[in-house]
Amino acid sequence: MFRTACSRLLASTAALFCGALAQPSVTVQTDQGPVVGRQAAANAFLGIPYAAPPVGPLRWQPPQAAPTWTAPRDASSPGADCPQVALNLFPVAGVTPGEVQGDENCLFLNVYTPKSATATSRLPVMVWLHGGSFTLGSGSAYDGSVLADNYGVVVVTLNYRLGALGFLSLPALNAESADNASGNYGLLDQQAALRWVQRNVAAFGGNPGNVTVFGESAGGMSVCAQLASPQAAGLFQKAIIQSGLCTSPGNAVTLAQAAARNVRYADKLACQAADLACLRKVKVDTLLNTKVPGLRPASNLVWSPVYEAGILPLTLQDAYAQGRFNQVPVLAGTNHDEGRLFISAVSPSGKPVSVIQYWGGTGLLAGVANLGRVLAQYPYRSYQSPGLAFTVVFTDAVFSCPAFRVSTALSNYVPVYAFEFNDPQAVTLLKAPSDLPGLGSFHSSSLVYAFQTSVPGLGSPELFSPAQANLSDHFSEAWATFAATGRPTVTSQPAWQPFDPARGNVQVFTPAGVQESTAFAADHKCDLWTRLNLN
């Protein structure tokens, strides 16, 4: 039950919380105990633990039951981020690239609700899985208050274990596991948070029977994984995949492959790979700063989900092709210029990409045997620079065409709504390299538009032109209405038709408006990438 004034708290706790909160307080009773959030544009309940701290003997264990309490718990500030090494890709004030941030006690979530929500509201629920290559990011970087306030939804954001702490596979870890599998601890965290939502979201005004899981980049890939995980059945009723890399080249790493690779990693930690007691005592800084030996750049995600065991019995490609996934409506899409963010993959120095670097980077993506065929379709002289040519190859091979294949496979079983975000001058705080005309709709640029709030290191709605503000309204409305009804709608726009592989229809969001296109596959040369079948 909601109690919306500090004066209604017990006298012993009122002084503790009321003086600390600038906004009026709001109290909700969870199955762990009461939490006291704050009320501004929306109600915000931050830093709620959804599982026990995964520390000591619980490192590399499935998430355990969360703590309980009896006195009201302050939920006015987020909990610690999961341990990660800061990068300079998205520079944030006060953060030094290369430093280790966060704490192993990090399994927290945040809940945003409309101010008018009550325990009987039964509002649609949106559970956000953040991106960051499975090594970076946090739930608290995304403010769900505008989505909650504008569209009458409950938004939940969460942390999950990252890097080696979230995705280490080893034979010794397999042996101690109930299902003889290891490595997907971050995904298990996400499922634990979704179970927390099932138990508790009604108290915040949400409907546990109308939950949408949504995510971008590694978060989008996490959504894809949860679709394919039998253990996630019933935890959500809809899914939104933004830039998910779900069947991108090199991402179908099996448990056997990951465990064999990671033995070499464990041996570099001054512990034997079979000595779990030793490994569980290794300092976090050492775990995060030790590199996995023998991996080529861009060959695959070093720390990411593993397949063909445990909670992911099939690769995503096989699960979707065989219809062996959680069959719920899906909204799925990418950004038009995803690859422009990754130009540093071929030119770490920041200098303009040379022709040789373009060829080399393309060879890593497509394989040496396919290099000639790909270069024939993407001659660098047809672009402003070799760097721009590489970003187009990267976009098509890693994002656009895999997403098209995912939509095609899923649409055989469930309604799929495909989209592309295309703002040629998307707002950003990042500076484009000199050999690009700009960053365009780069990877993650759509997030400021979707959440309609500032995203650290990316940008702010304050930078929107009127046309971009209109685009943001359309884009976020599509996500929110899909979460509410299972069908995305945009005010004053024709009805959005489900994806039909025969037509290849994709809804394109631009500052000039929203319209259906059937040219997406041709624009991104998906016939070529489908024939290469790189996964």
Q: What is the pLDDT of residues 384-442, one digit of tens each?
A: 999 999 999 999 999 999 999 999 999 999 999 999 999 999 999 999 999 999 999 99
How confident is residue 93, by pLDDT bands cut at 50, 70 and 90? low
217 is catalytic: yes
Residue 48: the pLDDT is 98
* 180 vs 174: CA distance, rounded Å: 4
Catalytic, out of 443, 444, 472, 474: 443
**Per the structure block, which two tokens stand in for 443?**
């990877």
Mean pLDDT, range 36-57, rounded to an integer: 97
- Longest CA span, the chain: 75
* 503 vs 371: CA distance, rounded Å: 29
Residue 344: the pLDDT is 86
Query: How many C-beta atoms surround the C-beta of residue 495 within 10 A?
Result: 8
Question: What residues contact 34, with CB distance under 8 A and at least 6 apart?
Answer: 27, 28, 69, 71, 72, 73
pLDDT in tens, 437-451: 999 999 999 999 999
Is the confidence at residue 109, as pLDDT, over 60? Answer: yes
* 160 vs 330: CA distance, rounded Å: 23
Is the confidence at residue 383, as pLDDT, over 80? Answer: yes
25 is catalytic: no
Is the confidence at residue 11, as pLDDT, over 50? Answer: no
Mean pLDDT, range 208-214, rounded to an integer: 98
* 47 vs 260: CA distance, rounded Å: 36
* 162 vs 150: CA distance, rounded Å: 31
Select from 465, 373, 390, 481 the least CA-distant residue to 426. 465
Q: What is the mean pLDDT of the chain?
A: 92
Query: How many C-beta atoms surround the C-beta of residue 286 within 10 A?
Result: 13
517 is catalytic: no
For the chain, the structural domain boundaries read: 334-450+507-535
Catalytic, out of 104, 216, 338, 420: 338
Query: How many C-beta atoms surround the C-beta of residue 512 within 10 A?
Result: 13
Catalytic, out of 76, 133, 140, 217: 217
- pTM, two decimal places: 0.94
Is there a contact between 83 and 128 (Cβ–Cβ < 8 Å)? Answer: no
HSE of 222, CA atoms in CB hemisphere, 13 A: 33
* 320 vs 501: CA distance, rounded Å: 15
pLDDT in tens, 345-358: 898 888 999 999 99
* 378 vs 519: CA distance, rounded Å: 18
Query: How many C-beta atoms surround the C-beta of residue 291 within 10 A?
Result: 9
Is the confidence at residue 514, as pLDDT, over 70? Answer: yes
* 81 vs 158: CA distance, rounded Å: 10
Question: What residues contact 141, with CB distance under 8 A and at least 6 apart?
Answer: 130, 455, 456
pLDDT in tens, 235-284: 999 999 999 989 988 788 999 999 988 999 999 998 999 999 999 999 99
